[in-house]
Chain A
């Protein structure tokens, strides 16, 4: 845990150091003119900023956050879109700098395959169990009144016939 703690502290420190730089960067570069983007690019911009995490906030996308870092990241996305980069390139640019943490849609890789496949595995298992449950109880004709002997005979004959065939009803 201590390695993780140190790493966390380092990240925090990096963010603290980064924050003034970000603010300054914002001072220097005026926000890009929205008119630069085509309609298609604008749409991609809108969906991109809602899939990227604001790194200094508590669980907010850069589209929703009002933190300076989020504004800077929005500007970066905007500038790169205007420069003709693809969504994949922009995401790679950001993950190279900030790691997978910046992506709200985790990439499919060795450490996340269970995350993506897990729910469907559960669904599959649950479906199989439910179907088997239903199947085991199909077409049982439960006799309304049986005395003990008849019941025992019934169980016995069922056990016998299980290997050959499914019983069609109670034996006479």
Chain B
């Protein structure tokens, strides 16, 4: 009964979405405010319907309703409750429902917090979001219905993919989707601006917090995904340049470019057409990512060719959405020309350069991700494009970005004198070079040229960002007042840039100085890595809620003192029969010690010798710490006082209007 209600809610949502797409658009055309108002009510209704459908699917998982095919395929009787709740998005159909929940959630949010923009612009944007919802609901109902029933009803489910039974997975997909789908708001407003032909500072100021919010969720999602892969895949890697990761990284890069170009559009009224194009591209890449991940084309071009229904649908949808968006762009964007001054050596000029490099980096990721697929589809054989390619292409495209950051915060809008800027940056530059040269030595590593370069770059980014704050405080007589008067958005920017610096530092040291070793260890034996002694005390069988494990007990000693007890596991999941490696990590900010059990040397004797993987990874935490700092910076920037003030002012204006 409950699943049928969910199914019914989905169909109802489709009809509401059609209304949301058509009625406000007609209202805008006829200049009828009552029809435009349908946008808000239908967006909110649609959100409630999808939320209800989502609740029904969750209920089916909680109550182990094996009559629902999707539940039976992705859960089983002994799966713990937490993982039954997250299994809702554990596979294709549920992920698409989560995607819809996010899309309608964002639309409902737009319908509530829209007091700032002209009614017709909001109505157009909501109509665009409604049209997107129509496409995705049709996709779900026609090709990927999570409520499809099973007959005969099986006795038990087939289990959630054990890879996904990890705390990191509990919040990773919702965060990622919040980000992915969040770019639809910027997209919808870009289309609305193109249709209305109006794109002013108010538009940019309104679009900024939405874009920043989507970006910060995407940042958290990617960071969590990296952390999950590190813990769960068992070989100490944290980023693999896997197509699935690239699918989320491309919108992130373009979204980052968008945040920066929006700043120029708001403050200087320039780069308008470019900003609109970026908003379209960011969402286009989100859609492309969905296509890549959801169509199965990544597993194999041939598997995709044999069962193409889903892929063809998304591809067609992608073509329609982008076709319309780019046609509109080509037709209307020439209107958005600004004839004001533009100096390259100014903040807006450097932000433009930032965009050049970010977009090139995104293009590199896109090319590397699609190239093998194209080559294979053209029957030119098979090529692999992996980390060596991406690392060698990506570094020259992103190092200039880190160098630019320092200048961008020291250079003012409009025009700057090079001599002043270089004078200002002498101190940060000196600190960066000094720190870069001494850091490897201070931390007891071999001195490598790459480490000096990476360290100097990281410190440069951090110090030059903080320097902006210092200058602002010094400019005031009263230092305390100086600090409190700094806008929250500036703190946000500084924090996000510091996050980037921390991230660069982490990546540099962990990639250059990590040590890994595959060793053969019997109970009571030990191995030494980077001065740490890992002793395998023993391996014993353990029973988990839905798996059996070989539970290792590893004691880590450093300079004669026991510093950690680690418990890596090898798990055999009951229902699916899959084997998982559960690594164990001891971490401080400066280093991770990572242990994973490989295989028993003699397969029949778990008490004998084991192949064990040991990793020493310096500064690993900084990589994720940097991501968290960037997201926090985004949070500060998105909640800046001027956005809230303006909103409060409008609410007051609106209520007085109503009173009058």
Query: Is the C-beta of A51 less than 8 angstroms from some C-beta in chain B?
Result: yes
- Hey, which chain B residues are within 8 Å of A115, CB to CB? 367-368, 371, 383, 385, 389
Query: Is the C-beta of A145 less than 8 angstroms from some C-beta in chain B?
Result: no
Please state if A111 and B383 are interface contacts (CB–CB under 8 Å).
yes
Q: Taking A4-B302, A133-B352 as contacts, is the C-beta distance between A122 and B384 under 8 angstroms?
A: no
- Hey, which chain A residues are within 8 Å of B385, CB to CB? 104, 106, 115
Within the complex, the shortest CB–CB distance from A158 to chain B, in Å, comes to 11
Please state if B242 and A59 are interface contacts (CB–CB under 8 Å).
yes
Query: Is the C-beta of B341 less than 8 angstroms from some C-beta in chain A?
Result: yes
**Please, how many angstroms separate the alpha-carbon atoms of A100 and B292 in the complex?**
23
Task: With A4-B302, A130-B356 given, name 6 new contacts (CB 8 A).
Answer: A3-B379, A59-B386, A105-B389, A111-B375, A114-B367, A115-B371
Please state if B305 and A122 are interface contacts (CB–CB under 8 Å).
no
- Hey, which chain A residues are within 8 Å of B306, CB to CB? 5
Query: Is the C-beta of A32 less than 8 angstroms from some C-beta in chain B?
Result: no
Within the complex, the shortest CB–CB distance from B7 to chain A, in Å, comes to 33
* CB contact between B341 and one of A64, A119, A142 (< 8 Å): that residue: A142
Q: Taking A118-B367, A123-B360, A127-B356 as contacts, is the C-beta distance between A101 and B384 under 8 angstroms?
A: yes
Select from chain B the residue with minimum beta-carbon distance to A5. Answer: B302
**Please, how many angstroms separate the alpha-carbon atoms of A140 and B243 in the complex?**
46
Within the complex, the shortest CB–CB distance from B339 to chain A, in Å, comes to 7
Query: Is the C-beta of B598 less than 8 angstroms from some C-beta in chain A?
Result: yes
Query: Is the C-beta of B299 less than 8 angstroms from some C-beta in chain A?
Result: yes
Closest 4 CB pairs of A and B: A104-B386, A119-B364, A105-B388, A137-B342
Chain B, 368-393, contact with A by CB distance < 8 Å: what is the 0/1 string? 10010001110111111111110011
Select from chain A the residue with minimum beta-carbon distance to B304. Answer: A1
- Hey, which chain B residues are within 8 Å of A50, CB to CB? 387
Query: Is the C-beta of B655 less than 8 angstroms from some C-beta in chain A?
Result: no
Size class of the B contact interface (CB-based, 8 Å)? 35 or more
Please state if B367 and A66 are interface contacts (CB–CB under 8 Å).
no
**Please, how many angstroms separate the alpha-carbon atoms of A104 and B393 in the complex?**
13
- Hey, which chain A residues are within 8 Å of B371, CB to CB? 112, 114-115
Q: Which A34-85 residues have a C-beta within 8 angstroms of B?
A: 50-51, 53, 58-59, 61, 64, 66
User: Can you list 6 A-B pairs with a CB-CB distance of less than 8 A?
Assistant: A4-B301, A59-B242, A101-B384, A111-B375, A111-B380, A115-B383
Query: Is the C-beta of A97 less than 8 angstroms from some C-beta in chain B?
Result: no
Query: Is the C-beta of B363 less than 8 angstroms from some C-beta in chain A?
Result: yes
Q: Taking A5-B305, A139-B341 as contacts, is the C-beta distance between A100 and B389 under 8 angstroms?
A: no
Please state if B356 and A100 are interface contacts (CB–CB under 8 Å).
no
Query: Is the C-beta of B412 less than 8 angstroms from some C-beta in chain A?
Result: no
Query: Is the C-beta of B599 less than 8 angstroms from some C-beta in chain A?
Result: yes
Within the complex, the shortest CB–CB distance from B350 to chain A, in Å, comes to 11
If over half of B's interface residues share one DSSP class (helix, strand or loop), that class is named, otherwise mixed; here it is helix
Please state if A51 and B341 are interface contacts (CB–CB under 8 Å).
no
Within the complex, the shortest CB–CB distance from A82 to chain B, in Å, comes to 17
Please state if A119 and B237 are interface contacts (CB–CB under 8 Å).
no
Query: Is the C-beta of A134 less than 8 angstroms from some C-beta in chain B?
Result: yes
Query: Is the C-beta of A8 less than 8 angstroms from some C-beta in chain B?
Result: yes
- Hey, which chain B residues are within 8 Å of A8, CB to CB? 300, 302
Q: Taking A5-B302, A134-B342, A142-B341 as contacts, is the C-beta distance between A126 and B356 under 8 angstroms?
A: yes
Please state if A4 and B376 are interface contacts (CB–CB under 8 Å).
yes
Most buried by B among A5, A64, A119, A139: A119
Q: Taking A131-B344, A142-B339 as contacts, is the C-beta distance between A64 and B237 under 8 angstroms?
A: yes
**Please, how many angstroms separate the alpha-carbon atoms of A118 and B369 in the complex?**
13
Chain A, 80-96, contact with B by CB distance < 8 Å: what is the 0/1 string? 00000000000000000
Query: Is the C-beta of B29 less than 8 angstroms from some C-beta in chain A?
Result: no
Within the complex, the shortest CB–CB distance from B507 to chain A, in Å, comes to 16
- Hey, which chain B residues are within 8 Å of A51, CB to CB? 386, 388
Please state if B381 and A99 are interface contacts (CB–CB under 8 Å).
yes
- Hey, which chain B residues are within 8 Å of A116, CB to CB? 393
Please state if A100 and B299 are interface contacts (CB–CB under 8 Å).
no
Most buried by A among B300, B353, B382, B599: B382
Please state if B388 and A99 are interface contacts (CB–CB under 8 Å).
no
Query: Is the C-beta of B453 less than 8 angstroms from some C-beta in chain A?
Result: no
Please state if A105 and B360 are interface contacts (CB–CB under 8 Å).
no
- Hey, which chain B residues are within 8 Å of A126, CB to CB? 356, 359-360
Within the complex, the shortest CB–CB distance from B247 to chain A, in Å, comes to 13
Query: Is the C-beta of A102 less than 8 angstroms from some C-beta in chain B?
Result: yes
Please state if A58 and B299 are interface contacts (CB–CB under 8 Å).
yes
Most buried by A among B302, B306, B368, B397: B302
Please state if B382 and A99 are interface contacts (CB–CB under 8 Å).
yes
**Please, how many angstroms separate the alpha-carbon atoms of A120 and B235 in the complex?**
32
Query: Is the C-beta of A138 less than 8 angstroms from some C-beta in chain B?
Result: yes
Q: Taking A4-B379, A134-B344 as contacts, is the C-beta distance between A53 and B384 under 8 angstroms?
A: yes
Select from chain B the residue with minimum beta-carbon distance to A126. Answer: B356
**Please, how many angstroms separate the alpha-carbon atoms of A53 and B599 in the complex?**
21
Chain B, 269-308, contact with A by CB distance < 8 Å: what is the 0/1 string? 0000000000000000000000000000001111001100
- Hey, which chain B residues are within 8 Å of A120, CB to CB? 360
- Hey, which chain B residues are within 8 Å of A58, CB to CB? 299
Query: Is the C-beta of B440 less than 8 angstroms from some C-beta in chain A?
Result: no
Query: Is the C-beta of B340 less than 8 angstroms from some C-beta in chain A?
Result: yes
Q: Taking A8-B300, A139-B341 as contacts, is the C-beta distance between A122 and B359 under 8 angstroms?
A: yes
Most buried by B among A53, A58, A105: A105
Please state if A100 and B344 are interface contacts (CB–CB under 8 Å).
no
- Hey, which chain B residues are within 8 Å of A99, CB to CB? 381-382
* CB contact between B240 and one of A4, A59, A66, A138 (< 8 Å): that residue: A59
Within the complex, the shortest CB–CB distance from B233 to chain A, in Å, comes to 8
* CB contact between B388 and one of A3, A101, A104, A123 (< 8 Å): that residue: A104
**Please, how many angstroms separate the alpha-carbon atoms of A66 and B610 in the complex?**
13
Within the complex, the shortest CB–CB distance from A161 to chain B, in Å, comes to 16
Please state if A137 and B360 are interface contacts (CB–CB under 8 Å).
no
Please state if A102 and B341 are interface contacts (CB–CB under 8 Å).
no
**Please, how many angstroms separate the alpha-carbon atoms of A140 and B386 in the complex?**
47
Please state if B339 and A122 are interface contacts (CB–CB under 8 Å).
no
* CB contact between B357 and one of A61, A114, A123, A137 (< 8 Å): that residue: A123
- Hey, which chain A residues are within 8 Å of B349, CB to CB? 134
- Hey, which chain A residues are within 8 Å of B386, CB to CB? 51, 53, 59, 61, 104-105
